[in-house]
Structure 1
């Protein structure tokens, strides 16, 4: 199963999704209730049209949900990112803008189909004076042991501006959640807490802390698979997907550690073979040079074919004198 599919399936569960947004965006307050969430189409593709200019933009988000908020609703999206993306604030801004544009076009279409009366200004825009769009909130989850070293807002992507220009510049900040820095959060959903905490400990090689955290706890297969995706571990993903009814994380981590130790032993043996080959090549080269020196080859010629300096060649010649 592809990592993106595992990621999307995990966050499709409303209680996990709500816990993520309530903790990261709303500072622990239960603003979003799981029972009020409904899934939306992740496709935000649309036609962008300005006068004679027309272009179809195809974009798909990772996970998008709608939550009732009073008598209205809010739209929320999650983007997963394995590597730093140096254009991510712009990318998120485009996703959000396309979401707004899609709703704008839908409202305009309904007015046209209903034959609603409109003022000249309303006819021009397609929106009536009282029409309102719904807020879109996005979170980018960055799961990598390396800290995010890219821009976190549109302003971070812009060249240095004079102060006067900077004051009127419209910035766009993205909500970035780095797994490596997730220790400052306490998620209400236990499974969400487990994936972030476990991944963070694995990043640091702190397997003892994982054992203390989970002990003999059996986690759901999709939780184990999510941890495997976040830590780039095919072994954990495989263990999770093959488990029936749940997986023992401590047992899986023991296999992961053993594989790491074995890889280290293999790497050490391979490094030893490489060093041996290098020494053999160097010794063979040395014997050839000795033979050429004995045959009376000129130093200039030996410099060209061996890459050694004149002093190094003279030192070798002394050894055979």
Structure 2
């Protein structure tokens, strides 16, 4: 499990945040679910297969699994955090949900075998007429900077170009429950610090817009808890904040991201210019060592300023590299 997966898992282990996400996504912000309605479950499921000589087990781990109790209904809620597009995500979710249902069925079947209370077709099924599976709802949280251009349902992964409409209509589908964090239109529905995580990530490529947003919510950003600070740092384009995380720890134990962001903004152009000089010098050497020092420094500074300016306009790294005629790695080196 990568750093982003671990941070997201830790963040949403707080039942208040998971309840807040579900209320926003399922009930348009209405508080229908409380933290007391959610019980954490083991996120690992497995499917067993046997033959005469071997037993095989396939383990699938969801980033988070919770048991939701709403009224008399129980629903298993699975979260999958994605930092990049997964072009087989509907199949991956279907597989995870299928293993979850398979695990439930096996548990029910094993219970009947111990009780010896099934006959006929029920015995062959390992499942009684009145037995029921607990439904599973998997939500995919996508934190990536690029738009999600992957499939949003199982059918979008299928070759149906020449399939008769009548046949295609009978083929089962499995839609993806996708939340695109950076494009989520209703962050105001959140009542926890989720609204600030979403709001920050939606603006982290627009430095002026981000500074304005943080200033407007200064009280919240001046008192972030450790997991929220980590979530923003790891998922955002501003990873340098974390390098000095302890510098912004307050006596109360929370973190002041307002101060961290102010210092980052003040330092960015100076850092960019300094790195631009070294890049410019290296390029200038090919022109001539003496001439390269003067020409390289000027061009390096100009290049750094151009890169920073394009980033402020919200351009992606690949687009900046194309406009400046440099490699993407050089863009990231200047912006780091």
Q: TM-score range by the shorter chain?
A: 0.7 to 0.9
Matches of 1:52 and 1:158, distance apart in 2: 36
Task: Tell which structure's C-alpha radius of gyration is larger.
Answer: 1
CA RMSD of aligned residues (A): 2.5
In the alignment, which residue of structure 1 is the partner of 2:210? 207
1:218 is paired with a residue whose SS is coil
Q: For this pair of structures, how many residues does the alignment match? A: 281
Residues 45, 61 of structure 2: 8 Å contact kept:
yes
Contact 1:222 1:240 survives alignment (8 Å): no
> Any conservation in 2 of the 1:222–1:241 contact (CA below 8 Å)?
no
Aligned residues of 1:221 and 1:240 also touching (Cα < 8 A): no
Matched, 1:221 2:214: no
Bigger shift: residues 18-27 or 251-260: 251-260
1:216-272 residue CA offsets vs partner (Å, 9 max, x unmatched):
532112111111122054333344467251111111112333453244223421331
Match of 2:120 in 1: 120
| 1:72-91 equivalent positions in 2, closer than 5 A | 72-91=73-92
Does residue 1:248 correspond to 2:264, yes or no? no
Describe the shift of the 1:52–1:263 C-alpha distance in structure 2 as closer, same or farther (beyond 3 A).
farther
The match for 1:274 among 276, 282, 298 is 282
The normalised TM-score by structure 1 is 0.80
Q: Give the 5 Å matches for 1:65-214.
A: 65-116=66-117, 118-161=118-161, 162=163, 163-205=165-207, 206-214=209-217
TM-score under structure 2 length normalisation:
0.76
Q: CA deviation at 1:139?
A: 1.0
Does the 8 Å contact 1:201/1:209 carry over to 2?
Answer: no
Structure 1 unaligned runs (5+)? 284-321
Change beyond 3 A, Cα 1:165–1:25: same
Post-superposition Cα deviations, 1:115-174, rounded to whole Å, max 9, x if no partner, equal: 22x221111110001101011111111112211111111111111342222211111111
Please say if residues 20 and 192 of structure 2, whose CA atoms lie closer than 8 Å, have aligned partners that are also in contact: no
Runs of 4+ in 1 over 6 A off after TM superposition: 50-54
* Structure 1 residue 21, shift from structure 2 partner: 1.2
